[in-house]
Each structure stands twice: as C-alpha cells, then as structure tokens.
C-alpha cells in the first residue's frame, strides 16, 4: 500500500517467474496441505452426496481461480514485485473440467472463473468448454476488462460462458492508473462493458472497491455507470487480502457510508429480490432509471451465515472460505489415479471443515497468507 504508483512499470508476464526458492516454498506449502490430515465428514453427510458443512450450509457456488497472474497491480491486492507460480504448478484445463463435473454431481450450480486475471490464461476457451460439459451449471467470469475483444467474447460465449463481471475502481484516468498500476485506461474498460452487453454476456455486473483516501470520492460517479449501461454496479468493502499485508481498517469505506453518498444524489429503493445466498444487497433507482446498485459488506456486515461458496486456487488447493487459514490440495488425487467418488468425498470433507464465519473487526482475526490474487475472488 505504501509503494509509489509511479515506481511500477508493467513488464511482460514471462518475466514474472518464480525463483527456485519460491518454487521450493510452493512445493513445501502444498506438501504440508497434503500431509496435514483432513478430517472426515460424518458418514451420514457423505451419504447425502452434497457438500454440507457442520452449520447446515450447502455449497452451491464454486469459484475457480485459473491463474494467479494478473496484468494489474491494484493497490488493495497485489504489490508490484509479486512473483507468479510456474505453469506446471497450476491446475490444468482437463483437471478443472473434472472437478467441475464432480462438483456438479454434488449440487454445485454456479461456477465463477476467476484469477488473478483469467483472460491471461492461454487456454481459457478450453477451460470454459470443459466446465460446460457439466449440465445445469451457470458459468460466469470475473475480469478486469482490460483485454476484452468482440472476437474473444464471442468465442467464450460459444464455448459456454453465460455472463461476465468486470472490476472498475475509478472512472478518472489518472486515478485509475494509480489504483491499478497499469497502462490500461477507464475508457478501455468501458469499451469492454459495451462489448459484453453487445455479445449478450449478461446480466453484466460491475465491481468497485473503495479505499479511503484513494478513490472514496467516486461513489456517485461509479454509481452513474449503472444508469449509463443499465447494469448492476456493486461496491465491495476493502478487505485484508493484500499481498503486502498492509490493510488498515481506517481505510475501509463501509457500505452504509457509500450508500449514503450515492443517495445524496440518486434516491435508492431496496429491490427486496436478493437471493438468500447472495453476497450483495441490491437497490434500484427510485426514479426508475435502468440499473441497480449493490453493496457487499464483508467487513461491516459479514454475511457468513448464508455462505454457499467453496474456492479452488490456481495451484489446486480447496479453501472453505475466502479468509481460510487452512486449505487442502486436491492435486494428489487428480494426478494420483483417484476415482471421481474419492474426489467427491474429498470435497465433502473439506466443506465439513468450513468455519461458522469470520469477524475482520475482531482482535483475534488472522489475515490469510495468500492475497486475493492467489485465492480467487
């Protein structure tokens, strides 16, 4: 957080390779997750063939990080000197497809393709097509929108992609550059939004993270995007998931504060139509202009009680929660000849370890070692 934006110069991605020491640490981390015993879920839970935790929550949404690489270095997420894992350490498209199939058999109905930046993956179309082989699954992708073209979007849609969510944290060129530490401009992202709508990858959602002293004065301008494009603009509270571990609670802009800033200009009315498992609370414009505003408040108003999500990291670790301090590698099963039922039992067991929730404001809260870019949003 303290690094100067001007000190960052974008580099070709092939320069961001893990050193031998980093790779050794990666292997050790994975080995530890394999050696550490995974508690078994009760036989009655396994027999139900659903991913249920000990608090009665059922997993319906799987978020898959297909790469830890990103062409942005957003100030709330990734420091400029972050190094990425080598390709051989990451889960393959075929392995992702197999996990999607197993997860679908256990009741998962939504899969979110995330990163890093998923559009950097050279086999993204293959990944989407592989997931699509599992029927009854909605496939969405979260992207920074910087690399979108009509041709790519059309291919991804043909492969099975249903919709897209785009992150945009500023509509001001100088501010956008400082926040993302990139050469992309807001206009680049806005063109991507237009293209997604034109290709029918909807309902389109936009995400913004407001950080006090950085972009917290742009709530109204960003809310205006919902009205301009007729989409849902969502504001996400700044979370302790940065690679520098420099998160400061004083920089959190609460959902309530953001809503009040927007309502000073645009009157809002609750939609009262949110899915019980949704992370966002949504509002429509009182003047009936198209578009919605959503607020995701994991810091000020945790919504863990209705959580239905499980996460797969790009290197094949399954995390019960975004803020988990424990994760278990599925790679030994995928690459060791395990049956689909054994992999399903593994997912059921990991889900059973899901904690009741987190409280970022509590003095006992421990920030995960992995940043958002490594976990997947």
- The predicted-structure confidence for 239-262, as pLDDT tens digits, reads as follows 876 666 777 878 899 999 999 999
Does the pLDDT of residue 8 top 70, yes or no?
no
Least confident of 14-28, 228-242, 322-336: 14-28
Q: What is the mean pLDDT of the chain?
A: 87
Confidence of residue 194 (pLDDT cuts 50, 70, 90): very high
Above 70 in pLDDT, residue 316? yes
Q: Which fold has domain 20-375?
A: TIM Barrel (3.20.20)
Query: Which residue in this structure is represented by tokens 């000020």?
Result: 300
Higher pLDDT, 326 or 258: 258
How many Å apart are CA 22 and CA 14, to the nearest integer? 16
Q: Where are the domains of the chain?
A: 20-375
Task: Please enumerate in sequence order all residues whose Cβ is within 8 A of that of 215, keeping only pairs 6 or more positions apart, or say none.
Answer: 169, 170, 175, 179, 208
Output the pLDDT for position 217. 97
pLDDT class for 375, splitting at 50, 70, 90?
confident
Between 339 and 36, the more confident residue is: 339
Q: Which residues pair with 42 in a beta bridge?
A: none
pLDDT > 90? residue 185:
yes
pLDDT, one tens digit per residue, over 136-146 is 999 999 999 99
Q: What local confidence, expressed as pLDDT, does residue 26 receive?
A: 38
Mean per-residue pLDDT for 97-117?
Answer: 97
Q: Which helix (DSSP H) or strand (DSSP E) does residue 207 occupy?
A: strand 205-210
Q: Which range is least confidently modeled, 119-128, 190-199, 246-255?
A: 246-255
pLDDT level of residue 11 (50, 70, 90 thresholds):
very low
Beta-ladder partners of 298: none
Q: Supply 188's token pair.
A: 């680049």
Closest CA to 368 of 243, 279, 252, 236: 243
DSSP 60-94: -EEEEE--S--S---TTT--TT--PPPGGGSPPHH
pLDDT tier, 110 (very low <50, low <70, confident <90, very high otherwise)? very high
Instruction: Output the CA angle 286-169-270, nearest 5 degrees.
Output: 20
C-alpha angle with apex 129: 126 to 135, nearest 5 degrees?
155
Residue 95's pLDDT is: 98
Residue 377's pLDDT is what? 64
Q: What pLDDT does 227 receive?
A: 98
Q: For the beta carbon of residue 326, count every other beta carbon within 10 angstroms.
A: 15
Across 24-38, 85-99, 323-337, least confident range = 24-38
Token readout for 76 is 């709330």
pLDDT at 241: 66
Reply yes or no on whether the pLDDT at 2 is more than 50.
Answer: no
Residue 326 near residue 29, CB atoms below 8 Å: no
Mean predicted confidence (pLDDT) in 192-196? 98
Out of 31-35, 197-201, 346-350, least confident range: 31-35
* Measured distance CA(284)–CA(226) in Å, rounded: 10
Question: 1 pLDDT band (50/70/90 cuts)?
Answer: very low
Rounded to an integer, the average pLDDT of 89-105 is: 97
């Amino acid at each position: 957080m303290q690094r100067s934006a001007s000190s960052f110069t974008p580099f070709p991605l092939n320069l961001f390779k893990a050193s031998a020491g980093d790779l050794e640490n990666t292997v050790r981390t994975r080995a530890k997750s394999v050696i550490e015993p995974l508690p078994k879920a009760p036989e009655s839970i396994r027999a139900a063939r659903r991913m249920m935790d000990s608090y009665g929550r059922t997993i319906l949404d799987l978020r898959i990080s297909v790469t830890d690489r990103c062409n942005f270095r957003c100030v709330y997420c990734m420091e400029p000197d972050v190094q990425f894992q080598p390709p051989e350490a990451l889960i393959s498209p075929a392995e992702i497809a197999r996990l999607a199939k197993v997860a679908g058999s256990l009741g998962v109905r939504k899969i979110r393709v995330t990163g890093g930046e998923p559009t950097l993956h050279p086999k993204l179309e293959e990944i989407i097509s592989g997931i699509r082989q599992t029927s009854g699954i909605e496939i969405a992708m979260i992207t920074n929108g910087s690399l979108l073209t009509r041709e790519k979007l059309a291919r991804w849609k043909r492969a099975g992609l249903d919709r897209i969510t785009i992150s945009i944290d500023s509509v001001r060129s100088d501010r956008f550059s400082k926040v993302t530490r990139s050469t992309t401009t807001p206009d680049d992202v806005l063109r991507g939004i237009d293209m997604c709508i034109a290709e029918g990858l909807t309902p389109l959602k936009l995400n913004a993270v407001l950080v006090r002293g950085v972009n917290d004065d742009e709530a109204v301008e960003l809310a205006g995007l919902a009205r301009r494009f007729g989409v849902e603009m969502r504001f996400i509270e700044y979370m302790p998931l940065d690679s520098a571990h420099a998160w400061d609670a004083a920089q959190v802009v609460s959902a309530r504060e953001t809503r009040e800033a927007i309502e000073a200009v645009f009157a809002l009315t609750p939609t009262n139509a949110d899915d019980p498992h949704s992370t966002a609370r949504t509002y429509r414009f009182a003047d009936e202009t198209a578009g919605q505003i959503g607020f995701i408040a994991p810091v000020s108003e945790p919504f863990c009680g209705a959580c239905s999500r499980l996460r797969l990291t790009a290197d094949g670790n399954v995390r019960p929660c975004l803020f988990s301090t424990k994760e278990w590698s599925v790679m030994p099963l995928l690459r060791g000849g395990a049956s689909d039922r054994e992999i399903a039992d593994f997912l059921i067991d990991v889900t059973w370890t899901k904690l009741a929730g987190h409280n970022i404001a509590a003095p006992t809260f421990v920030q995960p070692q992995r940043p958002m870019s490594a976990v997947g949003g």
